[in-house]
Amino acid sequence: MIMGLQIIGIVFGILMAYFTFLNFKKKEFEKTQFIFWEILWICFIFITLFPNIISEFSKNLGFIRVMDFLTIIGFIFIAFLSFYNYSSINIINKKIEKIVREEAITKSLKK
Amino acid sequence: MKIAIIVPAFNEEKNILAVLKEINNLDFDKKIIVVDDGSLDDTFNVVKKNFENVIILRHSINLGKGAALKTGCIVAMQLGSDLIATIDADNQHPPNILPKIVDLLTRDNLDVVIGARDANESMPLVSRLGNIFLSRATNYLFGTNISDTQSGLKVFKTSVYDKINWSANDYFVETEMVANIGKNKLKYGELKIDTVYNDVYKGTTFFDGIKIFFKIIKQKLK
């Protein structure tokens, strides 16, 4: 019997797979990116449907419940994403600053 | 001595004319460099129309005071200036004090001179308290003895620009310059200046002050 939480997880996984497909169609994702994310979402849906697949694995890591294991994995993933976004924004800010400054100086010298 | 006077400006169409008029009247071999930091008002055109001798640059988007000062300094060095002066565009600092600051710098052979605002009743209370706190924290951590570390009025030799150079794009630039003065043991002095607050809602806010404090700690750990 499928629990409510599993239904939410499956719907979420399907929606994310769909958004990934849309991004690919709009040419915002390359083929490799599309395939990677689709495989990830399919695995997500599969684990949501059959959590017992990873119960042995999560028990070996010291987790009594699979849900606890998935929650921790989720937090780790969010922490990684936050750091990645922070790094990326830092790099982009520096590039923007460089471009804006060069443009300002070049325009001023042209006069 | 050739002096480049850098005026970073953001939405200062009302105040910048008065500032530039006074700077223009100063008897220096000078270049005035205004950096319009992505103003949303008519600052750029107001300066361009009224002052042909002023070099005006415009950032297409607002990057922050630190970034504007850096743009100005790069141009100042390209022009071969011996000294660089920084002054706010909001008419908070009296431009006519610049000759005295330059005199002090050359007479005592200093690397940097800061125009220190008097923390009296004319300064808004929050600014006064914040300024005292941040100045004390900066002085304690970087071994300086500057009464107003947040002042935007500074004159320094172009030759020490690399030592005073900053990475901050925002209001932390003033503190970072002082931190670098302390770290690199530059010779500094200060001169008391009068201050006028035209708009108490502009400039560094209470929240900017909190950000600056944490950046001071981060700067010390670098």
Contact A100 B35 (CB under 8 A): no
The tokens describing B175, both together, are 């503190």
% of chain B residues with pLDDT over 90: 71
Contact A97 B67 (CB under 8 A): yes
Query: B126 touching A, CB under 8 A?
Result: no
Contact A107 B58 (CB under 8 A): yes
Q: Are B124 and B117 in contact (CB under 8 A)?
A: no
Q: Global pTM?
A: 0.80
User: Could you read off the pLDDT of B141-162 as tens digits, one per residue?
Assistant: 999 999 999 899 999 999 999 9
Contacts of A93 in chain B (CB under 8 A): 169
Q: Is the dihedral of CA B40, B42, B47, B48 positive or negative?
A: positive
Backbone angles phi, psi at A62, to 5 degrees: 100, 10
Contact B58 A104 (CB under 8 A): yes
Q: Please compute, for residue B181, the number of CA atoms within 13 A of its CA located in the half-sphere on the CB side.
A: 26
The tokens describing B17, both together, are 């004319």
Q: Are B152 and B172 in contact (CB under 8 A)?
A: no
User: Could you read off the pLDDT of A34-90 as tens digits, one per residue?
Assistant: 999 999 999 999 988 888 888 888 888 888 888 888 889 999 999 999 999 999 999
User: Could you read off the pLDDT of B119-146 as tens digits, one per residue?
Assistant: 666 677 777 788 888 899 999 999 999 9
Give the chain A residue nearest B36 (alpha carbons): A104
Q: What is the pLDDT along chain B (222 residues), one digit of tens a residue?
A: 899 999 999 999 999 999 999 999 998 899 999 999 999 999 999 999 999 999 999 999 999 999 999 999 999 999 999 999 999 998 888 899 999 999 999 999 999 999 998 766 667 777 778 888 889 999 999 999 999 998 999 999 999 999 999 999 988 899 999 999 999 999 999 999 877 666 656 667 777 888 888 888 888 887
Give the chain A residue nearest B63 (alpha carbons): A97
Residue A44 to residue A16: CA distance in whole angstroms: 10
Contact A104 B71 (CB under 8 A): yes
Backbone angles phi, psi at B209, to 5 degrees: -60, -40
Report the pLDDT value the prediction gives residue A51, as an integer from 0 to 100: 84
Q: Is the dihedral of CA B162, B168, B171, B175 positive or negative?
A: negative
ipTM given for this complex: 0.78
Residue A48 to residue A46: CA distance in whole angstroms: 5
Question: Pick from B108, B88, B109, B110: which is nearest to B193 by CA?
Answer: B88
Among the partner residues B56, B60, B169, nearest to A108 by beta-carbon distance: B56
List the Cα angle B31/B36/B41 in 5-degree steps.
Answer: 135
Residue type, A9: G
